[in-house]
Chain A
Amino acid sequence: MSSHYEAPIRKPLVTGNKSYHDVSNDIAAAIEGKANKQWWIVFSIALAAFLWGVGCMIYTISTGIGVWGLNKTVGWAWDITNFVWWIGIGHAGTLISAVLLLFRQKWRMAINRSAEAMTIFSVIQAGLFPIIHMGRPWLAYWVLPIPNAYGSLWVNFNSPLLWDVFAISTYLSVSLVFWWTGLLPDFAMIRDRAVKPFQKKIYSLVSFGWTGRAKDWQRFEEVSLVLAGLATPLVLSVHTIVSFDFATSVIPGWHTTIFPPYFVAGAIFSGFAMVNTLLIIMRKVSNLENYITVQHIELMNIVIMITGSIVGTAYITELFIAWYSGVEYEQYAFLNRATGPYWWAYWAMMTCNVFSPQLMWIKKLRTSILFSFFISIVVNIGMWFERFVIIVTSLHRDYLPSSWTMFSPTFVDVGIFVGTIGFFFVLFLLYSRTFPVIAQAEVKTILKTSGDNYKKNRDKK
């Protein structure tokens, strides 16, 4: 650490007079205690939704994609919308843990663990869709370049869908490793505190024999830095590649060179919104208000505001380029987005993603917990609509008017989406009861610089 001194003008990142021991107690509380009634209620709801989604998936796979609302003109709708939405949400984790680490943003320490957990859980949801959206998902392994006995059969490296396969699997594995590395000292802390033998056994297994030697810490720091360096390009690449699914096509409204930065900004935007959604609840129910402070939420709101503005600029640039291109199909595609049969989706997207984050300019609003929660939900909805607008409104009216039609989801479309939300929360709720939800080891490193008691004492001198 460069310095133990932090300017008094900076707000403390840990409040409530915390000592090192308090930190350990607070973080371990959720794991060592018993789940309360609310947790069980929420968990049951999430599990029910998840099982309902599993039912819908089984129905789809056993009967055919026809149980969805797709048709000859609109070949993708909720499936890929959900896929991109979840991938986008999964973006905040890496950004917070890797990019903010490189930029030495210490406020990330309170949120990076949960943000990364969210990343992994949402990438799992996202990964489901490319598989179940296939007509013959039992052959999904054909998209992997596995040497085979079928002669010269090989994957098509020109296809952006194949790039997706690599991008997502890389992202998932790097995120997982990064997350677990960070978890080691924290698991070790839980292990050391554990009184039940079974619990002790499990946590010693997952902490990979962490001893806390100086060498351990040195390696830990090095690996974190290396992984951060590796993960940083992934922040840009994953969503860039996802955007290639559309950008490399010939469909007006998809064929757009602005997509890579636009998608990346949108992903960070939605990811931060989801982090906000989750942490605002978690800090309350797990009594972590002293670690995830209003200061943290405000900083995230600022990121949301900035990325929201980038996304807004991209939307308007798209419209401008459509007009400027002079290509009639392009012009019509964007006119149709805003004023065609799906105008409501477009304006829902515009309202949620462009207008609502602008309210964050007002300090009172961006420091209001309730308002932040509200906006985070709004942004999540808006970003879902963004993908829906891009996919469905571009497809439903493309080149030949004879093929124009509409898309309407079935209960299965909705069921699978709700199911993935359920699955996500099942995982997240289990995580919140079994994992140290805050990187306590890291928080402890800043306690003496950014803890309110230490800061106060220092300022008094």
Chain B
Amino acid sequence: MGNHKKYWKSELELSSDSKLIDKLANNEFVEDLPVGNLLADENSLENSNASRRDFLKYLGFSTAAATLASCEGPVNKSIPYVVQPEQIRPGISNFYATSISDGFDFANVLVKTREGRPIKIEINNQSKDNSPNARVQASVLSMYDSSRIQGPTIDDQDVSWDQFNDNVKGQLDSMKESNKKVVLLTQTFASPTNELIIKKFLKKYPNVEHIVYDAISNSKALDAFEISYGVRALPTYNFENANVIVSLSADFLGDWQGGGFSKGYAKTRVPKNGKMSKHFQLEANMSLSGANADNRIPLKPSLQNKALLKIYDYISGENSGVSLDVDLDKKLKSISNSLLKSNGKGVFITGIDDVGAQLIALKINHLIKSNVINVQKLNYTSLGDDKKVSKLVKELSNNNIDGLIMVGVNPSYTFPNSEQFNESLKSLDLSVSFSMNNTETAKLSKWVAATPHYLESWGDVEIKSGNYSLVQPTIKPLFDTAQFQDVLLNWSGSSNSFYDELKSNWNKNVLNGLSWNQALHDGVFYQNSNSKKLSFPYTFPNVNEFVNGLKSTVFDDFELTLYSKTSMGNGQQANNPWLQEMPDPITRVSWDNYMTVSKSDAQNLGLKNINDSNGALNSNFAKISISGKSLKVPVIIQPGQAKGSVGLSLGYGRTSGVKKELQTGVNAFDLYNNFTNVQNVTIESVNETHEFACVQLHNTLMGRGDIIKETTLEIFNTKKSSEWNYVPSVSLNHIETLVTSPDVDIWDEFDRSVGHHFNLSIDLNGCTGCGACVISCHAENNVPVVGKTEVRKSRDMHWLRIDRYYSSAETFSGDNTTKDNISGLSDSLSVFGEMENPSENPQVAFQPVMCQHCNHAPCETVCPVAATSHGRQGQNHMAYNRCVGTRYCANNCPYKVRRFNWFLYNNNNEFDFNMNDDLGKMVLNPDVVVRSRGVMEKCSMCIQKTQKTILDAKLERREIKDGEFQTACSSACETGAIVFGDINDEDSKVLELKEDDRMYHLLESVGTKPNVVYQVKVRNT
């Protein structure tokens, strides 16, 4: 807008020819500055007040001011919204329900977005299916991976999607005409709409065959179920109904049959009315399930087969003629008896990759009338067929196949004979790879279709029959990507978008007329199960024909069991620094896979674990050989590993599409022959040193029973809590006084009855050690990734860690007895030395430890600048800006939960992880400050979350309900082992837990009065 107003300065301006006005208009200064006069006349110069000093002062000031003014501040370019989106308000997070289905992990999730960026994965409370595990929690970071493929390519040349589609279509059409065979090799989708779309595609191109391939196969279990019940799927298990759980080599708390069983399992593990389930685990590797078992029997795979037959014999009354040693036989008999007596509340599961074994397991469950296994409700998350895949491999090598379209799979990495496959792949007429990263397979494919991350995609998934969930984008695709469904529709000649197809399919076949928007809002939709009652022919085959097969499995050397690690799964997210840095729950090694071996075998083979001078763990290598192939892997001596067996995790050794620092471990898929997880191998030691990054270097509890208090169910039910939850006492005027008494407190207690007072309860019975909380905390609190060399120096930054202890004796109570029986100095010298070594088959205990938020915090008194101090609500605060970094607080912390920023971990090329990367930084939580070098940091009890809750309630003028207060760990804990809340709220769950008989404080005798409480672990032994 122009301004036509004229401001008059004087009436003289009215006359246009006034000289004065002209003069004024031309001269900035009304009068001449008297510079010339001043300088010319010596007298006036001398008389003036401005001395030489003044002159120099003014000169100095002007120079400095000019210099300062010419310095440019850092310019941060930001682009404002042209149109302000309605939903996005700065500072307010939006949540969207969606699901992950990457072929290995299937889960319903809630995605937290801030300013349009997804930054955190949460549990969707509406879901009845799988909750996000550690990998799913971390998956949000995989979206902000700068090494993603940013658009479609043909022969490594960037092309447009139209070019790409036309090119492939042309190729497909010509192949159709010449009737050349094409295979569509996909992951398991468990998606009804994908199925329709693929059907459409196959109809257009009848020369295409669809094969489903799971990198880690469940094919044998599927075969067995198909034989027994006529449907190719997996049964579901309701572990919350279980009283007796017998798992033969099935790591059901890990990734067995897609996982997701921990929630139900944990429900039976917390003693209620004096009852809890009893869990037997028979396995070769020490798995997460084995670590949680009440009774764990290490068995190498060949013995597992025999044990299976023996249990079957005891339950069915048949005789397969297997002989085992008396001791084991007795144990198996008692296990079988408890299954028989379980009254439908028992379950028998096995992870043995053998159709016969799986059949027998199904039959056992049938015989004991198990209510835990549900053959009506099916699990669709793993549908790969080994036979078809093997056929594909054979046909490829015979050049019978001319085209391969791959979606969500990475066979160049996951096939056991990948070299052969790679050769064939290169020579195909059509090789299309749908991929997010430049994987091993994508690298060799001619056509690479860049696909979006699941958080940028539409989709649906039926994890269990009748349990539908939707996948919706939470951000506009970051790159020029297209979903494979859209592309496939395009190739099929359809003009519909995938979204249209999805919506119409749901409206037609899923929703039964209910609201699409509601389903999208909830993310899940459950069909009334009665409406589609499945009827199965229960045709149990004669298992005898499989018995001989199982009996005659002969292993002559070592028996290798391949498994998937909690952090890495099948290796899809190898480029995710959070997962690489996440310590394995059992070995607590990060950034590596390794061969696990029992102590006695290690001794015989000359395999060693040695601690370096800074404590870091080293090992030599083992050469694992198997029919002409061999792998050189580092070694971890694993307590509980069955003698004669070794373990190795899949999912490591990725080399393509993964940053250099994140190319860790060795590829164990090379040994995954016949898609069977047990292999017969020979092992020799190689005398080279491997350097591990292990976050826990001492494995045993040293008889310190007050760190992890535990008892047996029998004692728990029959004795007073003071006997199994002993509170230490001190002498006050020669009277034994409990350390919890205010009389022995040297501090005056504050009045904490006003306002909120936060407590966190951790149930050691509910915690399975899965590590979802560790990643959740990492994501919520912008915890830096420090890399392998720094972790190796014991400088991991995790605010929340899950300590894992092995017993030195058979049991932890045995450890306590050993320690109590120490008499004399020489005895203590030798016994403590022995207690540093775990038993061959130890008990295992997990303990999540974060800042205990002590009411009498040792860290607070020692900080010279008061950078850490106590809050009204019970938190121990950390003012990063005030911290000068003396580290005194960390030294004086009895729990060693404080983490120091040894270096600058962001914007530093030495730490080239997500915080050194513009895209990777998108995942940062804007509510939590990124710490600078030289300051201490630690768990804040997610104060940004509690404050948000308080402020929201204040705005809405209402009281806060119990359960609204959450921390990242408590909200990520699907088993409910971590409960957070306000103990000033009388109805809160956490108050109930705080007053529970099982409650104890970690290191009560130090008198720190923590706001984190633990619940005594009860074992049903």
- Which positions in A face B, CB cutoff 8 Å? 63-66, 69-73, 75-76, 130, 133-137, 139-140, 142-143, 153-156, 158-162, 165, 245, 248-251, 327-329, 331-332, 335-336, 339, 395-408
B832 at the interface (CB under 8 A from A): yes
Residues in B whose Cβ lies below 8 Å from that of A153:
866, 882
Residues in A whose Cβ lies below 8 Å from that of B790:
66
Q: What are 6 A-B pairs with beta-carbon distances under 8 A?
A: A159-B863, A250-B1006, A402-B801, A404-B698, A408-B612, A408-B615
Residues in B whose Cβ lies below 8 Å from that of A64:
901-904, 933-934
B94 at the interface (CB under 8 A from A): no
Residues in B whose Cβ lies below 8 Å from that of A405:
614-615, 697-698, 794
A134 and B886 contacting across the interface, CB-CB below 8 Å: yes
Partner of A159, one of B833, B862, B898, B904: B862
In the complex, what distance in Å separates the CA atom of A398 from the CA atom of B1006? 12
B849 and A402 contacting across the interface, CB-CB below 8 Å: yes
In the complex, what distance in Å separates the CA atom of A155 from the CA atom of B867? 9
Contact code string B925-960 (vs A, CB < 8 Å = 1, else 0): 000000011111000000000000000000000000
B886 and A249 contacting across the interface, CB-CB below 8 Å: no
B653 at the interface (CB under 8 A from A): no
In the complex, what distance in Å separates the CA atom of A327 from the CA atom of B866? 31
In the complex, what distance in Å separates the CA atom of A433 from the CA atom of B156? 75
In the complex, what distance in Å separates the CA atom of A160 from the CA atom of B819? 35
In the complex, what distance in Å separates the CA atom of A396 from the CA atom of B697? 11
Using known A-B contacts A155-B864, A161-B864, determine if residue A398 contacts B884 with beta carbons closer than 8 Å. no
New A-B contacts (7) at CB < 8 Å, excluding given A401-B805, A406-B615: A72-B890, A155-B866, A158-B861, A161-B864, A401-B700, A402-B696, A406-B614
Contact code string B575-605 (vs A, CB < 8 Å = 1, else 0): 0000000000000000000000000000000
B896 and A403 contacting across the interface, CB-CB below 8 Å: yes
A161 and B862 contacting across the interface, CB-CB below 8 Å: yes
Closest to A142 in B: B865
B702 and A332 contacting across the interface, CB-CB below 8 Å: yes
Partner of A249, one of B866, B891, B902, B904: B891
B611 and A406 contacting across the interface, CB-CB below 8 Å: yes
Closest to A396 in B: B615
B894 at the interface (CB under 8 A from A): yes
A72 and B896 contacting across the interface, CB-CB below 8 Å: yes
B701 at the interface (CB under 8 A from A): yes
In the complex, what distance in Å separates the CA atom of A159 from the CA atom of B863? 6
Q: Quick one: which of B779-800 are within 8 Å of A by CB?
A: 790, 793-796
A159 and B884 contacting across the interface, CB-CB below 8 Å: no
B24 at the interface (CB under 8 A from A): no
B613 at the interface (CB under 8 A from A): yes
In the complex, what distance in Å separates the CA atom of A140 from the CA atom of B884? 7
Q: Quick one: which of B609-668 are within 8 Å of A by CB?
A: 611-615
A interface, over-half SS: loop
B116 at the interface (CB under 8 A from A): no
Closest to B792 in A: A71
A399 and B886 contacting across the interface, CB-CB below 8 Å: no
B935 and A135 contacting across the interface, CB-CB below 8 Å: yes
Number of interface residues, chain B, beta carbon within 8 A = 67
In the complex, what distance in Å separates the CA atom of A153 from the CA atom of B899? 24
Residues in A whose Cβ lies below 8 Å from that of B886:
130, 133-135, 161
Residues in B whose Cβ lies below 8 Å from that of A159:
861-864, 866, 888
Chain A CB within 10 Å — which of B700, B702, B819 has the most?
A: B702
B885 at the interface (CB under 8 A from A): yes
Chain B CB within 10 Å — which of A65, A66, A137, A329 has the most?
A: A66
B795 and A72 contacting across the interface, CB-CB below 8 Å: yes
Residues in B whose Cβ lies below 8 Å from that of A70:
887, 900, 902
Using known A-B contacts A249-B858, A335-B832, A398-B894, determine if residue A69 contacts B614 with beta carbons closer than 8 Å. yes
Q: Quick one: which of B273-325 are within 8 Å of A by CB?
A: none
Residues in B whose Cβ lies below 8 Å from that of A399:
704, 707, 894-896, 1003, 1006
In the complex, what distance in Å separates the CA atom of A63 from the CA atom of B933? 9
Closest to A407 in B: B614
Residues in B whose Cβ lies below 8 Å from that of A396:
615
A71 and B614 contacting across the interface, CB-CB below 8 Å: yes
B849 and A400 contacting across the interface, CB-CB below 8 Å: yes
In the complex, what distance in Å separates the CA atom of A25 from the CA atom of B932? 59
Residues in B whose Cβ lies below 8 Å from that of A339:
829, 833
B424 at the interface (CB under 8 A from A): no
Residues in B whose Cβ lies below 8 Å from that of A69:
614, 793
Residues in A whose Cβ lies below 8 Å from that of B489:
none
Using known A-B contacts A70-B902, A335-B832, determine if residue A135 contacts B933 with beta carbons closer than 8 Å. yes
Contact code string B828-839 (vs A, CB < 8 Å = 1, else 0): 110011000000
Using known A-B contacts A142-B884, A155-B865, determine if residue A65 contacts B1003 with beta carbons closer than 8 Å. no
In the complex, what distance in Å separates the CA atom of A48 from the CA atom of B890? 35
A72 and B899 contacting across the interface, CB-CB below 8 Å: yes
Partner of B707, one of A71, A134, A400: A400
A398 and B896 contacting across the interface, CB-CB below 8 Å: yes
B184 at the interface (CB under 8 A from A): no
B791, chain A: closest CB distance, angstroms: 10
In the complex, what distance in Å separates the CA atom of A251 from the CA atom of B858? 10
B803 at the interface (CB under 8 A from A): yes
Residues in A whose Cβ lies below 8 Å from that of B21:
none
A71 and B1006 contacting across the interface, CB-CB below 8 Å: no
B795 and A66 contacting across the interface, CB-CB below 8 Å: yes
B892 at the interface (CB under 8 A from A): yes
Residues in A whose Cβ lies below 8 Å from that of B898:
72
B883 at the interface (CB under 8 A from A): yes
B900 and A136 contacting across the interface, CB-CB below 8 Å: no
Residues in A whose Cβ lies below 8 Å from that of B882:
142, 153
A412, chain B: closest CB distance, angstroms: 12
A409, chain B: closest CB distance, angstroms: 9
In the complex, what distance in Å separates the CA atom of A331 from the CA atom of B831? 13
B792, chain A: closest CB distance, angstroms: 10
Instruction: Enumerate the 7 nearest inter-chain pairs by beta-carbon distance, A residue then B residue, closest first.
Output: A135-B885, A135-B934, A66-B902, A406-B615, A408-B614, A75-B887, A71-B794
A136 and B934 contacting across the interface, CB-CB below 8 Å: yes
B565, chain A: closest CB distance, angstroms: 20
A134 and B885 contacting across the interface, CB-CB below 8 Å: yes
Residues in A whose Cβ lies below 8 Å from that of B895:
399-400
A257, chain B: closest CB distance, angstroms: 14
Closest to A156 in B: B866
In the complex, what distance in Å separates the CA atom of A183 from the CA atom of B139? 72
Residues in B whose Cβ lies below 8 Å from that of A142:
865, 882, 884
In the complex, what distance in Å separates the CA atom of A396 from the CA atom of B611? 14
Residues in B whose Cβ lies below 8 Å from that of A395:
891
Closest to A158 in B: B861
B388, chain A: closest CB distance, angstroms: 47
In the complex, what distance in Å separates the CA atom of A397 from the CA atom of B403? 61
Partner of B828, one of A136, A140, A335, A406: A335
Residues in B whose Cβ lies below 8 Å from that of A397:
698
B884 and A139 contacting across the interface, CB-CB below 8 Å: yes
B904 and A401 contacting across the interface, CB-CB below 8 Å: no
Residues in B whose Cβ lies below 8 Å from that of A328:
703-704, 819
A180, chain B: closest CB distance, angstroms: 30
B795 and A143 contacting across the interface, CB-CB below 8 Å: no
A156 and B865 contacting across the interface, CB-CB below 8 Å: yes
Closest to B932 in A: A136
Closest to B696 in A: A402
Closest to B705 in A: A328
Chain A CB within 10 Å — which of B612, B832, B861, B866 has the most?
A: B866
Contact code string B688-703 (vs A, CB < 8 Å = 1, else 0): 0000000011111111
A23, chain B: closest CB distance, angstroms: 48
B614 and A136 contacting across the interface, CB-CB below 8 Å: no
A156 and B902 contacting across the interface, CB-CB below 8 Å: no
Residues in B whose Cβ lies below 8 Å from that of A160:
862
B883 and A135 contacting across the interface, CB-CB below 8 Å: yes
Chain B CB within 10 Å — which of A71, A396, A398 has the most?
A: A71
In the complex, what distance in Å separates the CA atom of A403 from the CA atom of B796? 11
In the complex, what distance in Å separates the CA atom of A160 from the CA atom of B888? 10
In the complex, what distance in Å separates the CA atom of A299 from the CA atom of B11? 102
Residues in A whose Cβ lies below 8 Å from that of B701:
401
